Amino acid sequence: MELAVIGKEDFCLGFSLAGVKNVFETDSPADAVKRVFDSPETGVVVFDESLLGKLDELERAKIENSVRPVFVMLSLNEESDALRKMIKKSIGVELW
C-alpha cells in the first residue's frame, strides 16, 4: 500500500523531502484525484484541505465516502473540523 499527497507546492514539500514518491503538486486537484483513484496500489491520500473547495460536489462526496484509498485532510488552520468529522465517522464517537 502506497501513500500519495495532493496539495499546493508548499504543502507537498515536506512530504517530498521525506521520500513520498506519489506527490501531486497542483492548484486544481481534479486530475490528481482521478489519478489516485485509478491507482490500485494507493491506500492513503494526504490531501490539502485548502484545495477541497476547488472540487465539485460529486468529487468531494466521492473523497469523503472513499474507503480505499482513504483520504486524510490536513489543514494549516487550527479551526479545521475535517479530522474531527473523519474520526467520528470512522469510529462513531466524538473524541473531543
Extents of the domains making up the chain = 2-91
The arithmetic mean of pLDDT across residues 1-6, rounded, is: 94
Q: Alpha-carbon distance 4 to 66, whole Å?
A: 14
In the predicted model, is pLDDT for residue 88 greater than 70?
Answer: no
Q: What is the mean pLDDT of the chain?
A: 85
What does the pLDDT read at residue 62? 93
Packing angle of the helix pair 30-38, 57-65 (nearest 10 deg): 40
Does the pLDDT of residue 36 top 90, yes or no?
Answer: yes
Mean of pLDDT values over 19-45? 94
Q: Give the per-residue pLDDT at 78.
A: 56
Instruction: Convert 3-30 into a string of H (helix), E (strand) and C (coil).
Output: EEEEECHHHHHHHHHCCCCEEEECCCCH
- pTM of the entire predicted model: 0.78
pLDDT of amino acid 19: 93
Give the model confidence (pLDDT) of 56-80 as tens digits: 999 999 998 888 999 988 876 655 5
Peptide bond into 69 cis (omega under 30): yes
Residue type, 40: P
Average pLDDT, integer, range 7-26:
93
What superfamily does domain 2-91 belong to in CATH?
ATPase, V1 complex, subunit F (3.40.50.10580)
